[in-house]
Amino acid sequence: MKEFDKYVKDGLYSYKSPVPEGLWERIVAEKDKKKPIPIPFWKNGYFQASILALVTIALTSSSYFFFRKENTTSINNTTKEVVILTNNITGNTKESNFKIESAETNKSNPLSIVSTKKAKNNVINIETNSKPLSVVNHSISNTIEVVSVSKDDVVKDSSTQHLNAISSVVLNKEVNKSEETVSPTADEHYFEKGNIINRFNSELANGLVSKTLKGSKKTITTIHLTDRPTRNWYLEVYGSPDYDTKQVSANSLNANYLHLLDSTQKLVGGFTFGIRVSKNISQHLSIKSGLQFKEVTQQFKFTQQNVTKSITVITNTGTNSFIETGYQQRTVYNNYKSIEVPVIVSWEMRNSKKWHFSTDGGAILNLTSFYHGMTFDPSLNSVPLSAKQTYGMFRSNVNFSVYGGFSIQRNIDKNFDAFVEPYLRYSLSDNNISSIGYNQRFNSLGLNLGIRYKISHSGNKAK
């Protein structure tokens, strides 16, 4: 048997048959007609990934500078005087020395600082001769900007946004004996019961206690400082309608196979939903991870050959049965389903008490993928769409995508935010095996709509 096979192979593998005349001319004519269509540069994967990266970077940086500039402008408009205090912490001691680093004076309504006194446990009292002070920014480096504010100034969103950003100011509930004689003034009522208290988050807003001394125009503003940044945990539940695109390229021989797939299959939509946990790792930076489900739906219209139908004909002479063989036009909706783990880093910019903005970037790791429907195999037969049944045409667990998005959050309750997050995910690996002649991957443009719940808050404890 082997001898026979060897004999045939040796004889025929390199056997040359005469080539008909004029075939080369026909090939040349056909070749010029069927020149390969160059892939447009905007469909190139590297180009798309670069654009995604550039857009994310541009969005992040522009948003940062935009909001930063807006705040600065706003503060300047409302500021009578700006005092920057630096908290120098030495070693492990909690001793803090505050000093005036710079000052900016508006001559029309000067604010003179009478004294800055350091009390116990990082408490600082700032005595001024006019209106109460509001802390507008505190970074991890313990630099504090203190701005004198008027009633009208404080209620502006730009100021409240800054006050929200204070991560280390807590309420000094203990009143010194010297302050017992202090009676609330209109300003104090304003700070304690007015707009600020109502508009700000819990202890963050309460970190500022201002007293106007009785019979005096002087105001003492007391703030508490801690060195730890905020550590908040959030739980996010979200869902997104997705606009999916299919990126297909032939990798070897099957251009016609690819053309057939392209002409019979069309993506008609998809969705994603999931749950993830978010944790602040610094004032602006947070990391998110969880579990999500994604489904891409594809319409597959094809002609199924050799469909048989039994026909029974009843006549006067009896009953005859016939088997009719033909073809059938079928429309099948294929489902590509994935269970994934998103790992996302978010840079948050807080513009106001109510509205937060952040840019997100990261990766989506595929845990497993499974399929339902039908497709053509390389020999152009319609076969079930399954990782197991279609000769392993599809991968079951190796999808990896990059993710970029922009999130807009609105505070709707003390612990709840609603958010909208347009995003783009770009797949870096194919969902089919390359040996079938083409590479296929799905990219998505989506709009996450979700709710964020504040699970816990650690770092700054109210004293």
Partner 1 sequence: MSIVKHLYLLSEHELIKGCIEQNPQTQRLLFEQFAGVFMSVCIRYAIDSMEAEDMLQEGFVRIFNHLHQFKHEGSFEGWMRRIVVNVCLKNIQKRKIHFKELEIENSNEPQVSPYIYGNLCEDDLMRLISQLPDGYRTVFNLNVIEGYSHEEIAVLLGIEASTSRSQLVKARRMLQNQIVQLEKIAV
Report the interface residues with partner 1, using CB under 8 A.
1, 3-5, 7-9, 11-20, 23-24, 26-28, 30-31, 34-36, 250-256, 305-306, 377-381, 383, 391
The minimum distance between CB 383 and partner 1, in angstroms, equals 7
Taking the least distance from each CB to partner 1, the nearer of 355 and 391 is 391
The minimum distance between CB 143 and partner 1, in angstroms, equals 58
The minimum distance between CB 30 and partner 1, in angstroms, equals 5
- By residue count, the chain amounts to 463
Taking the least distance from each CB to partner 1, the nearer of 390 and 443 is 390
The minimum distance between CB 366 and partner 1, in angstroms, equals 25
End-to-end CA distance of the chain: 92
Task: Give me the torsion for CA of 325, 326, 331, 334, rounded to 10°.
Answer: 50
Taking the least distance from each CB to partner 1, the nearer of 27 and 58 is 27
Taking the least distance from each CB to partner 1, the nearer of 192 and 377 is 377
Strand ranges of the sheet holding 133-138, from the earlier edge strand across to the other edge: 96-105, 81-89, 143-148, 133-138
Instruction: Kindly report the backbone phi and psi dihedral angles of residue 79, in degrees, each rounded to the nearest multiple of 5, phi listed first.
Output: -85, 135
Token digits for 151? 């009633």
Taking the least distance from each CB to partner 1, the nearer of 209 and 393 is 393
The minimum distance between CB 436 and partner 1, in angstroms, equals 8
Token digits for 374? 């039908």
The minimum distance between CB 299 and partner 1, in angstroms, equals 23
Is residue 447 within 8 A of residue 240, CB to CB? The reply is: yes
Is residue 368 within 8 A of residue 341, CB to CB? The reply is: no
- CA-based torsion, 131, 129, 73, 281: positive or negative: negative
Q: Which residue has the tokens 């701005």?
A: 147
Taking the least distance from each CB to partner 1, the nearer of 181 and 305 is 305
Taking the least distance from each CB to partner 1, the nearer of 12 and 311 is 12
The minimum distance between CB 426 and partner 1, in angstroms, equals 23
Task: Give me the torsion for CA of 388, 391, 393, 396, rounded to 10°.
Answer: 20
Of 165, 130, 161, 128, the C-alpha closest to 144 is 165
